[in-house]
Amino acid sequence: MAVAFNLSPAGLLGLAVVLGAAITVLVSGQARGSNDVADISAAADGPRAAEAPPFMKMLEVVPDPILVITGQDPDDLIDRRFIFANAAARDLFRITRDSGPLATAVRAPEVLEAVDEALFGKVTGEAVYQPGGAQDRVWRALAQPLPADGGDGRLALLFLRDETEVRRAERTRADFLANASHELRTPLASLAGFIETLRGHARQDEAARDKFLAIMQIQAERMRRLIEDLMSLSRIELNEHVPPLGRVDIGLAAIDVLDALGPIAAERCVSFKPSLPPRGVAVIAGDRDQILQVVQNLLENALKYSPTRGEVALDVRLDLDVAQAGAPRTPGAAYLSLLTPDHAAGLRYVALTVRDAGPGIAREHLPRLTERFYRVEGQKSGGERSGTGLGLAIVKHIMNRHRGGLMVESVEGAGAAFTAYFPVSPRIPVAVPGS
């Protein structure tokens, strides 16, 4: 029987009580010199072992490390012994036996202190355990006093929970807030500086005033874009697990965005080269506003990085399987899947590719493109329209909600191409990613 426990700290108490009976057997097993968990569990299960779940075997397969520890003398450090260690505990502490001196298994002083609190202070001890090493995992160790029947020894249960992912998520959130504030602080500081200058020595200088006001307008515009992007990212994240309900014609959505960006393209002397299917054939299940945003973010980037008189191609392809949709199409290009759909077997896809003839993106930057606030250093993007670094993060989240994929291709010095592909009918609910 495969049993997957997920014990809350509160649940520890319950486990502690249930463990009581088994512990009594364990301790007497120890007194008899038996170290065999199977023996002990058979004894603990008693005559009903055939029909009842074998208790110690259940503990053995709990995915969180669990140890049962005895101790008699608070002043004698070597008298702490573990009398049970499940498979996860043996794996974590690299021990081959399921009983022995505690110090041979656990060396972290803070964990040993927590155990002592449970053994001799009769309170729950808590510690953070970081074994180090390449995996860099973080564990929370909880030591709980256990009722010990008979004898003068004391008992404690040491339970560890892997908190690596939770902490990583916390750090990501904190980094995100720090980044967002930093990004907003820079234009704000610049605005405040210019206001001061205009009220001070530039007050009578008309030429300087015009110049400063123009810069201030750019900074204010930048702040507006940042706030808009942040708001839209948080809106998208909120409903990322809700599959979109509408029907969207990708070809028509592309035409709408091309029309809207026409004036900017003309201003930059960049021409669009669309290759779109007829109306009504590239229809997918989707959220129209979000799909417009995907096309707009990709086209805006292509425009931003295009040389003057450059060309931005946009094509939509139909009826592809997942491998075709996510395959590179530029010979010799560096390419990377930035998002690969799960459970894609059997689905057909519509793929939209935006291709420019700009500087491209060096291979080493490709994996980080969809990170929030990531911008390729030293890249010129037309000065005043410098980006927020959130555009591709937004695209990735929208594509995830649509159970689609995202792929980038790049030839340094010759251009970049981004392909967003959508399943024609996403049947499976969307999983929310960690990042």
Distance of CA 384 to the CA centre of its chain: 32
Which is nearer to ligand ADP, 197 or 386 (by Cβ)? 386
Q: Does 302 contact ligand ADP by CB under 6 A?
A: yes
Contact flag: residue 392 with ligand ADP (CB under 6 A): yes
Residue 361 touches ligand ADP, criterion: CB under 6 A: yes
Q: How far is the CB of 366 from ligand ADP (least distance, A)?
A: 9
- Give the amino acid at 341: P
CA separation for the pair 327, 339 (Å, rounded): 12
Q: Is 398 among the residues that bind ligand ADP (CB under 6 A)?
A: no
Q: Does 305 bind ligand ADP (CB under 6 A)?
A: yes
Residue among 313, 379, 414, 424 that touches ligand ADP (CB under 6 A): 379
Q: Is residue 301 at the binding interface for ligand ADP, with CB under 6 A as the rule? A: yes
Instruction: Give DSSP secondary structure letters for 211-225.
Output: HHHHHHHHHHHHHHH
Contact status: 369 vs ligand ADP (CB under 6 A): yes
- Interaction of residue 265 with ligand ADP, rule CB under 6 A: no
416 binds ligand ADP (CB under 6 A): yes
- The vertex-96 CA angle with 91 and 98, nearest 5°, equals 90
**Residue 331 to residues 317, 328, 406: CA-CA distances in angstroms?**
18, 8, 18
Cα–Cα distance between 403 and 431 in angstroms, integer? 9
Q: Which helix (H) or strand (E) holds 409?
A: strand 405-411
Count CB neighbours of 176 within 10 A: 15
CB atoms inside a 10 Å sphere around CB 136: 10
Interface with ligand ADP includes 391 (CB under 6 A)?
Answer: yes
What residues numbered 140-169 form the site for ligand ADP, per CB under 6 A? none
62 part of the interface to ligand ADP, by CB under 6 A: no
Other residues' Cβ atoms within 10 Å of the Cβ of residue 301: 22
Contact with ligand ADP (CB under 6 A) among 387, 404, 405, 426: 387
Residue choice 388, 396, 401, 426 for contact with ligand ADP (CB under 6 A) = 388
Question: For residue 161, what are the contacts with CB-CB under 8 A and spacing of at least 6?
Answer: 7, 64, 139, 140, 142
Residue 222 in tokens: 């930048």
Residue 372 Cβ, how far from ligand ADP at the closest point, in Å? 8
Binding part of the chain for ligand ADP, among 25-33, 261-269, 342-350, 388-396 by CB under 6 A, reads 388-396
359 touches 413 (CB < 8 A): yes
Torsion sign over Cα 38, 43, 49, 54: negative
Cβ distance to ligand ADP smaller for residue 103 or 184 = 184
Q: Determine if 310 is a binding residue for ligand ADP (CB under 6 A).
A: no
Of the listed pieces 88-96, 167-175, 299-307, 327-335, which binds ligand ADP according to CB under 6 A?
299-307
Residues within the interface to ligand ADP (CB under 6 A): 297, 301-302, 305, 356, 358-359, 361, 369, 374-376, 379, 387-393, 416
